[in-house]
Amino acid sequence: MLTDYEMVCGIETHVELASKTKIFCGCSTAFGGEPNTHCCPVCLGLPGALPVLSSEVVRLAVKAGLALNCSINLHSHMDRKNYTYPDLPKAYQISQFDEPLCVGGFVTLDSGKRIGITRIHIEEDAGKLVHGSEGTFVDYNRAGVPLIEIVSEPDISTPEEAREYTEKLRLIMRYADISDCRMQEGQMRCDVNLSLRLHGSDTFGTRTETKNINSFGNIVKAMNLEIGRQAAVLDAGGTVIRETMRYDEDANRIVSMRSKEGFDDYRFFPEPDIPRFSIDEAEINDIRASIPELPFEKRERYIKELGLSEYNADHLYRYKNVCAFFEAVINTGATPRNTANLIIVTIFSGFSTEGEKEDFDIRVTAQEMAKLVKYLDEKKISMQTASKTLLSMLETGEGADSFISPEDLTDVDADELLALCQKAVEENPKAADDVRSGTDKAINVLKGHVMKNSRGRADSAEAERIIRSLL
Ligand SMILES: [Zn+2]
């Protein structure tokens, strides 16, 4: 029975660092390109070619460690991890074994639970096998692309926690410019280590590793499948075998790849071609200072200092470019609330994907947006007019003044608004009665009447207040 077991899970996440060049040579890390064009003797592992560790890669990895609350090892070295596979030209991968750059961090989930981070080390990516009708080819463009591997503690107890943990990792990496984490390009891949044990047991069950999962949805799906599979094995009195699995997205199933290697199989030893290296406190402080406000701190500040609702803060904070735009607008003195509302209600209405919100490629400058928000702040225009104007601005790239007519700008003064509200109540006796007798949505009929007769200039919230007082 599934309910008899609890899950124990740790995740290893490979993240491609945002370095323009590879970890041990000057070759480009650009995605794609003709096969084997971003290669040199170092990334091809030709005899005599000597790797030189990129200082940029070390800095980015340290930055990742600091952003994830790790301690930084002041002295570190690279190791050779030996295995034979056609995508690995040297027959070893240069990685780190017993002296990783960063140790002992954590990510805090919304529940307050911390998922520990055991270590972060740097390593090179392998090449890629391309299977075609004429056979299998190898593209070494990816060989030597710099990666960090972030290893979590086995603190994850549900697939949902796994999803939240990896989403938060991604957000932090992107915010701090450590990686773009474009999962569809393989810039972030997760290996899920998972085992089951009886509730209350304090020994771990045998774990399996499901490798290279490349979306948050697939992490949850693969974990649910693997939990079900292991539970069925245990229920039948069997034992789970330590093995490496793959999640087959098309068939939505878990497939066994091979029995799992132990550390001994890799015959790790220190890389003789790269000297030990160190990093000093001054450099670490320098890197720490380069880390911007992180997403969860930003969310806090938006709520506590700017007075945004949790709803608004939640819709802004995950998108770095949106936050930059929002902050540029409010820095001119526009109110945070109206700015946030216009972004979330009007600008976001034109986006259908998360990617579009992340890119936030719009034709309105922060200055023009600020001008529009200020008209709204000063009640020179209604929210409806502001929203309509903003849509035109987004469409054409022209400024607010191109679309706001003098008529729009004439504020409906208090006497006029009162008269409009009285007229709405008189001309819609049924709606007025409905509101009085508790059918509250009838208020929209009355408000609509006011908005129509003011040609959208009236402040609808103010109109509602007056209508209610009249009733
Ligand atoms: Zn190279």
CATH of the domain at 441: 1.10.10.410
Does residue 128 sit in the same domain as residue 163?
yes
pTM attached to this predicted model = 0.82
Q: How far is the CA of 44 from the centre of ligand 1 (A)?
A: 7
Q: How far is the CA of 36 from the centre of ligand 1 (A)?
A: 10
Q: How far is the CA of 21 from the centre of ligand 1 (A)?
A: 9
Q: How far is the CA of 405 from the centre of ligand 1 (A)?
A: 60
Residue 3 has pLDDT above 80, yes or no: no
Looking at every residue in the chain, the average pLDDT score rounds to: 93
Does residue 302 sit in the same domain as residue 210?
no
Question: Which amino acid belongs to residue 112?
Answer: G
Query: Binning pLDDT at 50, 70 and 90, where does residue 410 land?
Result: low
Buried b / exposed e over 343-353, threshold 16 CB at 10 Å, is: bbebbbeebee
Does residue 130 sit in the same domain as residue 8?
yes
Residues pairing with 156 in the sheet? 9
Written as six digits, the tokens of 46 are 């030709």
Query: Binning pLDDT at 50, 70 and 90, where does residue 2 land?
Result: low
Summarised one tens digit per residue, pLDDT across range 434-448 is 999 888 889 999 999
373: left (phi over 0), alpha (psi -120 to 50) or beta: alpha
pLDDT at 4: 86
Summarised one tens digit per residue, pLDDT across range 229-285 is 999 999 999 999 999 999 999 999 999 987 766 667 899 999 999 999 999 999 999
Report the number of distinct structural domains present in the chain.
Answer: 3
Does residue 100 sit in the same domain as residue 10?
yes
Q: How far is the CA of 137 from the centre of ligand 1 (A)?
A: 19
Higher pLDDT, 458 or 450: 450
pLDDT at 216: 95
Does residue 193 sit in the same domain as residue 61?
yes
Does residue 403 sit in the same domain as residue 418?
no
Map the chain to HEC letters. CHHHEEEEEEEEEEEECCCCECCCCCCECCCCCCCCCCCCHHHHCCCCCCCCCCHHHHHHHHHHHHHCCCEECCEECCEEEECCCCCCCCCEEEECCCCCCEEEEEEECCCCCEEEEEEEEEEECCCEEEEECCEEEEEHHHCCCEEEEEEECCCECCHHHHHHHHHHHHHHHHHCCCCCCCHHHCCEEEEEEEEEEECCCCCCCCCEEEEEECCHHHHHHHHHHHHHHHHHHHHCCCCCCCEEEEEECCCCEEEEEEECCCHHHHCCEECCCCCCEECCHHHHHHHHHCCCCCHHHHHHHHHHCCCCCHHHHHHHCCCHHHHHHHHHHHCCCCCHHHHHHHHHHHHHHHCCCHHHHHHCCCCCCHHHHHHHHHHHHCCCCCHHHHHHHHHHHHHHCCCHHHCCCHHHHCCCCHHHHHHHHHHHHHHCHHHHHHHHCCCHHHHHHHHHHHHHHCCCCCCHHHHHHHHHHHC
Q: How far is the CA of 139 from the centre of ligand 1 (A)?
A: 13
Range of the domain at 12: 2-287
What would the mean pLDDT of 202-222 be, rounded to a whole number? 94
Q: Are 394 and 364 in contact (CB under 8 A)?
A: yes
Q: How far is the CA of 124 from the centre of ligand 1 (A)?
A: 11
Residue 413 has pLDDT above 80, yes or no: no
Does residue 50 sit in the same domain as residue 63?
yes
Q: How far is the CA of 95 from the centre of ligand 1 (A)?
A: 16
Residue 1 has pLDDT above 80, yes or no: no
Domain end residue (candidates: 258, 287, 316): 287
CB-based neighbours (< 5 A) of ligand 1, an ion: 25, 27, 40, 42-43
Domain end residue (candidates: 240, 259, 287): 287
pLDDT at 428: 92
pLDDT at 263: 64
pLDDT at 341: 96
Does residue 326 sit in the same domain as residue 418?
no
pLDDT at 417: 87
pLDDT at 260: 63
Q: How far is the CA of 317 from the centre of ligand 1 (A)?
A: 38
Summarised one tens digit per residue, pLDDT across range 282-308 is 999 999 999 999 999 999 999 999 999
Domain end residue (candidates: 287, 312, 343): 287
Answer positive or negative: Cα dihedral of 77, 82, 86, 90. Answer: positive
pLDDT at 462: 86
pLDDT at 458: 81
Does residue 254 sit in the same domain as residue 311?
no
Q: Which of 203-212, 317-326, 378-387 has the lowest mean pLDDT?
A: 378-387
Summarised one tens digit per residue, pLDDT across range 14-68 is 999 999 999 999 999 999 899 999 999 999 999 999 999 999 999 999 999 999 9
Percent of the chain with pLDDT over 90: 80
Does residue 460 sit in the same domain as residue 375?
no
pLDDT at 259: 72
Summarised one tens digit per residue, pLDDT across range 105-162 is 999 999 999 999 999 999 999 999 999 899 999 999 999 999 999 999 999 999 999 9
